[in-house]
Structure 1
Amino acid sequence: MKAVYIVIPAYDEEKLIGQVVQDVAKEGFTSIIVVDDGSSDTTSQAAQSAGAIVIRHRINRGKGAATRTGIEAAVQLGADIVVTMDGDGQHSPKDIHAVIQPIMENKYEVVLGSRQISKGAMPSHKIVHNKIANTITLLYSGIRVQDSQSGFRAYSRHACTLLDTTSDSYEYESEIIRLIAAHKLSYVEAPISTLYTDYSTSKLHKQDIS
């Protein structure tokens, strides 16, 4: 059985991170790494109490940096597959099974979770924003994908060792796609469900204007 590690970057997520960790564990995935990206609240304590391995950045370095830290730690701990997902509750842990399956079957090295494939999974204003980002990513990488900004992804161990990212912020997702092309990694998109609450939407708005 391949070792699956779940990496969750988190910044000031004390309200939901504990529940997210518990929900992931309920799906049978207990190797969970939360990277607290310099939170000013009790994100670390909440994640640790819920059973996660916690790595803490002393300062807020950005989602890309936090994700990279988590992936590197997972590989060092022996992960065969690494799944990344957000810590604000918008991703369903039930979808982990679907995003790892193509890698478990040795069909692909990277699986990109896509909200665009799942009808109704993304608010209309996010669809417009995402289409613009998809076009920029296409020009940047040469790869056309339906959801270039999704943080819900799965990687084989081999892919993790090749994706030598440098982006620290939200451009990280697009950089990954460029590196998939550069290293000629096999990839596929998989539909994921997304729960947009007032809480997660407010955080997304902050990301859009930052």
Structure 2
Amino acid sequence: MKAGSKIAVVIPCYKVKKHIVGVIEAIGQEVERIYVIDDCCPEDSGDYVNTHCTDPRVHILRHVVNQGVGGAVMTGYQAAISDQMDIIVKIDGDGQMDPRLLLNFVTPILQREADYTKGNRFFNLENIRTIPRTRLFGNAILSFMTKISSGYWGLFDPVNGYTAIHRDIARQLPFDKISRRYFFETDMLFRLNTLRAVVMDVPMSAKYADEISNLKVSKVIGDFLFKHMRNFVKRIFYNYYLRDMSVASLELPLGIIFTLFGTIYGGVHWLKGFESNIPAPAGTVMFSAMPVIVGIQFILAFISYDIASVPDKVQYIRYSPTSKTDRGSL
């Protein structure tokens, strides 16, 4: 770790009174400040920490109204940025995330390999056995949707909340637009892609004991699907038409047009042939099949280009913990 680097930890607190003090006690001395955000917790987590924790690094921030995990993290980010912290790590307060892994998330950022790191519980196949099957299945679906909407095709486990971010990237985030609730982690990836930030998965294991997850995948799949589609459209517009244009900017619309034309044209003539019991002429079949084939090829070419365009250049210019003029390049 580079000398003089300032690391902060943000811990959103909502119904985690039983675990929060243990989480704080497990955080190593490499961390300079710990922000505990009492998100209008019905268990008064902030007061509980204030009473039972004597760690001088702890700063308690309180929300009068519950803002969700995203709102709590944004509050922590803004406090850390204001205090000139260099790396901001987010850890949940329910005891599922091992604070001893913190440097695994921080090191790639300090070594200029990433702007943002996140956990991946699926990297080690042996650890997958400890994950409940419903979470495993739900995560697989959410991961695929996130790859499409965020543009980070190599990432997995998108709802993993163990993350770290460089200050120069965090302060460029649109805090008022990022999702405040359970879509927070995946919406963050979409926002990071618009900043062209480098994101890296960090292998980790998760602990499942007596904690109760507030996220029910079966109840959020529909809402997540809509938001992923919205983010996908935004990302394509920002990256391929507003910010820049390339061959891929033509491939996607042409692919959609050709595919839809061939499908509709062929479908109409198939219905006519079915009703009249007269097979469609070979020319009609070819005239409907060719646009579909060409359209699919255009779409596949676009996807290939999109996968190859995953951000791979760290965005902050240099790492200088003491500099007040250190800015990102965006």
Q: Same fold (TM over 0.5)?
A: yes
Mapping for residues 71-86 of structure 1, pairs under 5 Å: 71-86=77-92
1 CA distance for matches of 2:200 and 2:42?
A: 37
Q: TM-score, normalised by structure 1?
A: 0.91
Contact 2:138 2:217 in 1 (8 A): no
Matching residue of 1:16: 19
Matched, 1:191 2:203: yes
Offset of 1:204 from its aligned partner?
4.4
Offset of 1:108 from its aligned partner?
1.2
Match of 2:156, as an amino acid? Answer: Q
Offset of 1:88 from its aligned partner?
0.2
Could you tell which deviates more after superposition, 183-192 or 44-53? 44-53
- Change in Cα spacing, 1:160 to 1:208, as seen in structure 2 (3 Å) is farther
Unaligned 5+ segments in structure 1 are none
Matching residue of 2:70: 64
Could you tell which deviates more after superposition, 112-121 or 88-97? 112-121
Offset of 1:29 from its aligned partner?
2.1
- Change in Cα spacing, 1:87 to 1:60, as seen in structure 2 (3 Å) is same
2 CA distance for matches of 1:196 and 1:60?
A: 25
Give 1:175's match in structure 2, choosing from 170, 180, 187. Answer: 187
Mapping for residues 27-42 of structure 1, pairs under 5 Å: 28-42=30-44
Identical-residue share of aligned pairs (%): 26
- Change in Cα spacing, 1:206 to 1:137, as seen in structure 2 (3 Å) is closer
Offset of 1:45 from its aligned partner?
2.0
Matching residue of 1:128: 137
2 CA distance for matches of 1:143 and 1:206?
A: 24
Matching residue of 1:154: 164
Structure having greater relative contact order (Cα 8 Å, sep ≥ 6) = 1
CA deviation string 1:24-70 (max 9, x = no partner): 1x454241001110011131023234232110101211111111111
Mapping for residues 104-143 of structure 1, pairs under 5 Å: 104-119=110-125, 120-121=127-128, 122-143=131-152
1 CA distance for matches of 2:32 and 2:6?
A: 10
- Change in Cα spacing, 1:124 to 1:175, as seen in structure 2 (3 Å) is same
2 CA distance for matches of 1:141 and 1:33?
A: 28
2 CA distance for matches of 1:152 and 1:78?
A: 21
Match of 1:39, as an amino acid? Answer: C
Matching residue of 2:101: 95
Contact 1:95 1:193 in 2 (8 A): no
Give 1:47's match in structure 2, choosing from 46, 49, 56. Answer: 49
Unaligned 5+ segments in structure 2 are 221-330
- Change in Cα spacing, 1:162 to 1:118, as seen in structure 2 (3 Å) is farther
Contact 2:135 2:217 in 1 (8 A): no
Secondary structure of the residue aligned to 1:129 is: helix
Secondary structure of the residue aligned to 2:193 is: helix
Aligned length: 207
2 CA distance for matches of 1:149 and 1:15?
A: 23
Larger strand share, 1 or 2: 1
Match of 1:58, as an amino acid? Answer: V
Contact 1:27 1:93 in 2 (8 A): no
1 CA distance for matches of 2:219 and 2:91?
A: 21
2 CA distance for matches of 1:198 and 1:99?
A: 26
Contact 1:12 1:40 in 2 (8 A): yes
Secondary structure of the residue aligned to 1:47 is: helix
Secondary structure of the residue aligned to 2:67 is: coil
2 CA distance for matches of 1:39 and 1:59?
A: 9
CA deviation string 1:73-122 (max 9, x = no partner): 11111110000011100000011010101011122111111111133153
Matched, 1:2 2:11: no
- Change in Cα spacing, 1:208 to 1:69, as seen in structure 2 (3 Å) is farther
Q: Point out the structure with max Rg over C-alpha.
A: 2
Secondary structure of the residue aligned to 2:213 is: helix
